[in-house]
Amino acid sequence: MDFDLTQDQREIQALTRDFARAEIEPNASAWDRDHHFPRELFGKLAEIGLMGACVPEEYGGAGVDFLSYILVLEELSRADAGVGVTVAVHTSAATLPILTHGTDEQKARFVPPLARGEHLGAFALTEADAGSDAGALRTKAEPHDSGWTITGAKQWITNGRHAGTFLLFARTDQQTAGARGVSAFLLDAEHVRVTRDEEKLGLNSSVTNDIVIEAAEVGRDRLLHEENRGFRVAMATLDGGRIGIAAQALGIAQAGYDVARAYATERRAFGHRIADFQAIQHKLADMSMEIDAARLLVYRAAWLKQEGRKHTEEGAKAKLFASEMARRQTAEAIQILGGYGYTKEFPVERYYRDAKITEIYEGTSEIQRLVIARSILGLTERALVAR
């Protein structure tokens, strides 16, 4: 086994870290406080190739491997998890499915503007009555001579207000219930109306929206993959997307650990640095150990996807462990800082708020356990999960 990153991987990791320290970290607290979506930032990220990191160069991307892209998400989320999830959804849930399932014409038309950061991507699967049971979705696409008329409503749509391209799922077979009879479509912003901006516990520099699609007329060239086979697109997208959310959780936890460790070496009590006390040492040791364990799970899952190997179980394990670890260890970071940790003078309270959602979206922790159990028991039924 070789646990070293390649030279190219180390370089993109360093590039992202330097950018994040210069452009994101100094602004993250203000963005969180003001609920500001830093749209201009994504143009800067595109200039250095990070809005299409693992997109082939022929489609306007940087052409790096999938593990390099995961390193990008980790570093961005270490600085601001809201920025991390914006890029994760844009890339994993919108751009990569087009590359995987699209026709040559669809790839040439939709991918380059996404990779260049001219458009943001969004993934529209979840509905009010179709969350973890995504097969219960009611948005419908009715055929006509030149395409479809799509009508429905979607919920919890990351990037919705600012997206230019939506990967949206609708029922094309109205007589069939469940996952069968669902198709995937590529919609533009003009096909969608935003009805709500969600007020959230964390990730305040990202946007989460409710949207409606009101009899939008789209041509047959907007169907992604095969008619009535769109749920396969959704599940394959979520298999890879979980690894991105695991990387986001990993970055958040690393940020919390960094602040807690630095504080412990400077804060003094009873005539000593608090890092000299065994209770604090044990907390930091556990944080470091669990972050390392999560990183190994995340990188393994990313490598398997990169190699074109099965990664459903491994991605679920990485996402489950990293997200629950991030919630636990950001709480410990607050504990180490004591009263200061509970204030906005230090960023650990923001890390704690941001970490919680990683246990919920891209499939809850409960759904991840179902995915893992079905894999290890050899069951064929897929867990139905949604963002």
Residues classed as catalytic: 362
Residue 278 exposed, middle or buried by CB count within 10 Å (0-12, 13-18, 19+): exposed
DSSP secondary structure string for all residues of 272-340: EEGGGSHHHHHHHHHHHHHHHHHHHHHHHHHHHHHTT---HHHHHHHHHHHHHHHHHHHHHHHHHHGGG
- What is the torsion angle, in degrees rounded to the nearest 10, for the CA atoms of residue 360, residue 363, residue 365 and residue 368? -170
| Secondary structure letter of residue 343 according to DSSP | S
- For 183, the token pair is 């198709």
Contact 95, 348 (CB under 8 A): no
Residue 375 exposed, middle or buried by CB count within 10 Å (0-12, 13-18, 19+): middle
DSSP secondary structure string for all residues of 28-78: HHHHHHHT---HHHHHHHHHTTTTSTTS-GGGTS----HHHHHHHHHHHHH
Alpha-carbon span 74 to 82, nearest angstrom: 12
| Euclidean distance between the first and the last CA atom of the chain, given in angstroms as a whole number | 34
Q: What is the C-alpha R_g of the chain?
A: 21
Alpha-carbon span 159 to 90, nearest angstrom: 8
- What is the torsion angle, in degrees rounded to the nearest 10, for the CA atoms of residue 71, residue 74, residue 79 and residue 80? 130
Alpha-carbon span 150 to 18, nearest angstrom: 44
Helix (H, G, I), strand (E, B) or coil at 152: strand
